[in-house]
Structure 1
Amino acid sequence: MPRPKTIDRTAILAAALDVADADGVPAVSMHSIAKRLAVTPMALYRHVANKADLLDGIVELLMAEIMADVPAPGPAAERDAWLDALIRIADRARAVASRHPAAFTLLLSRPAASAAAREVRAHIHDLLRQAGVGGDHVERLERIVTTTVLGMAAGQASQRFAHHPPGVLDEDVRALATFVTAGIEPFRTPAEKACP
Structure 2
Amino acid sequence: MTRPTETPRRTPLSTERVLRAAVALADTIGIEALSMRRLSQELGVVPMALYKHVAHKEELLDGMVDAVVGEIDPPRSGAQGMTAVRGRILSARRVLSRHPWASRVIESRTAPTPALLAYMDSMIGMFRADGYSVDLTHHAMHALGSRLLGFSQELFDQSPDVDPGVREAGLRAMATAYPHVVEIAVRADHDGRSVVGQGCDDQFEFEFSLDLLLDGFERLRARGWRSTG
How does the TM-score come out when normalised to structure 1? Answer: 0.73
The aligned runs of 1:58-97 (5 Å cut-off) are 58-65=64-71, 67-71=72-76, 81-97=80-96
Structure 1 CA distance, aligned partners of 2:68 and 2:110?
Answer: 13
The equivalent position to 2:41 in structure 1, one of 35, 41, 44, is: 35
Task: Establish whether residue 116 from structure 1 lines up as the match of residue 130 from structure 2.
Answer: no
How many angstroms does 1:42 deviate by? 1.6
Q: Percent identity?
A: 25
The answer as to whether partners of 2:25 and 2:39 remain within 8 angstroms in 1 is yes
Aligned counterparts of 1:130 and 1:13: Cα–Cα separation in 2: 34
Residue 130 of structure 1: how far off its partner (Å): 2.1
For 1:188 and 1:57, the matched residues in 2 are separated by 40
Q: Give the Cα separation in 1 of the matches to 2:48 and 2:223.
A: 53
Structure 2 unmatched ranges of 5 or more: 1-5, 158-190
Q: Counterpart amino acid of 1:70? A: P
**What runs of 5+ residues in structure 1 fail to find an aligned partner?**
75-79, 192-196
RMSD value, Cα: 3.5
Distance 1:9 1:143, change over 3 A: farther
Decide which of 156, 163, 179 is 2:199's aligned counterpart. 163
CA 1:122–1:113: 2 relative to 1, 3 Å: same
1:180 match: secondary structure: helix
Larger Cα Rg: Structure 1 or Structure 2?
A: 2
Report how many residues are paired: 182
Query: Is the contact between residue 29 and residue 51 of structure 1 (CA under 8 Å) also seen in structure 2?
Result: yes
- Pair 1:182 & 2:216 matched: yes
Greater RCO, 1 or 2 (C-alpha within 8 Å, sep 6+)? 1
- Mapped to 1, the partners of 2:222 and 2:13 lie a distance apart of 48
CA distance in 2, matches of 1:59, 1:31: 20
**Which residue pairs with 1:151 in the alignment?**
151
Q: Give the aligned partner of residue 185 of structure 2.
A: none
Confirm whether residue 18 of structure 1 aligns to residue 24 of structure 2. Answer: yes
Q: Aligned partner of 2:37: which letter? A: H
**Structure holding more helix per residue:** 1
Normalized against structure 2, the TM-score is what? 0.64
Judging changes above 3 Å, is the alpha-carbon distance between structure 1 residues 47 and 136 closer, same or farther for their aligned structure 2 residues? farther
